[in-house]
Structures are given as C-alpha cells and as structure tokens.
C-alpha cells in the first residue's frame, strides 16, 4: 500500500466529473479504482508502452491478481485531483502498482493493484518482457 512518504515519479491530473459523484456530492468510492486504472494507463504511456498492444505483441496480457484501496478523504465535483502512480515491485511475471489520489498534496485515497503477465488464452504466467522491465527500471531510477 502506498504510504504518505512514498515517492511517486509520475502524476496525472484529473478534474472530477459530475457523473463520478454520489448523492452526497463526493466521488463514489468505487470510482477510485477507475482513477487507479487511469493512472496505470498514463504511467505506461509515459514509459512509451502502448497498453494493451505492446503486451499482446509480447505474447501476453495483464490480469488483476489483487486490489485494495484505503480512503483518507473525499474528492468533490469539479476539483482537480492528482493520480500519483508508481511501480513498487516487479516480479518474474507480476507488477505491483501503487497509487495515491491527492488534492493539493492531501491524500484522499491510496491503493495497490497487483497484475500478473500471462498468456491470454491459457492464462499461464509468463515472464515480463525484458524491454518493459528495462523501461520501468530506467524510469523509476531517474
């Protein structure tokens, strides 16, 4: 789980839309997983990885193994939030993404999603492509 001291090299701003809010006027809790997905997609784009095309070209795709989200606050309609994203760990076939959704530096939600790279048909795990691993290690080390 991302903590308050976690260093995120990547952040993507997002304006909260009306459709994402519940009757209390705050972002519905399930939408934070959508924000995490946006963060992952934009993080991969920043690495130069076209998802899902580049993973499929390497013979596999990403499948969710685990997800979690803790809520510390609430975003509201029309606010700008930052979706902070990083890869905390690369395994042989797994990727641990950590996320923080923040408003003006204040964490509103933190979370983690574990993906496994696997054959799309057989669903058997595969080693992450070396090019992807190298791109992540360069990006996170800079």
Q: Residue 68 in 3-state DSSP?
A: strand
Model-level pTM?
Answer: 0.93
Query: What is the phi/psi pair of residue 123, to 5°?
Result: 60, 30
Mean pLDDT within 93-120: 97
Q: What is the pLDDT of residues 61-102, one digit of tens each?
A: 999 999 999 999 999 999 999 999 999 999 999 999 999 999
Considering only CA atoms, which of 104, 113, 129, 8 is closest in space to residue 69? 113
Beta bridge partners of 61: 118
Residue that the structure tokens 């690495």 belong to:
47
CB atoms within 10 A of CB 38: 16
Q: Are 34 and 81 in contact (CB under 8 A)?
A: no
% of the chain at pLDDT higher than 90: 94
pLDDT at 6: 67
């Amino acid at each position: 789980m991302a903590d308050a001291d976690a260093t995120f090299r990547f952040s993507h701003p997002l304006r909260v839309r009306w459709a994402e809010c519940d009757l209390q006027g705050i972002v519905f809790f399930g939408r934070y997983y959508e924000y995490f997905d946006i963060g992952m997609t934009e993080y991969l784009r920043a690495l130069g990885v076209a998802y899902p095309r580049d993973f499929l070209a390497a013979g596999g795709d990403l499948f969710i193994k685990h997800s979690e989200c803790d809520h510390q606050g609430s975003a509201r309609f029309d606010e700008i939030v930052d979706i902070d994203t990083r890869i905390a760990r690369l395994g042989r076939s797994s990727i641990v993404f950590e996320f923080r959704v923040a408003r003006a530096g204040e964490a509103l939600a933190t979370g983690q999603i574990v993906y496994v790279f696997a054959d799309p048909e057989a669903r058997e795990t595969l080693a992450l492509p070396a090019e992807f691993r190298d791109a992540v290690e360069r990006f996170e080390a800079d």
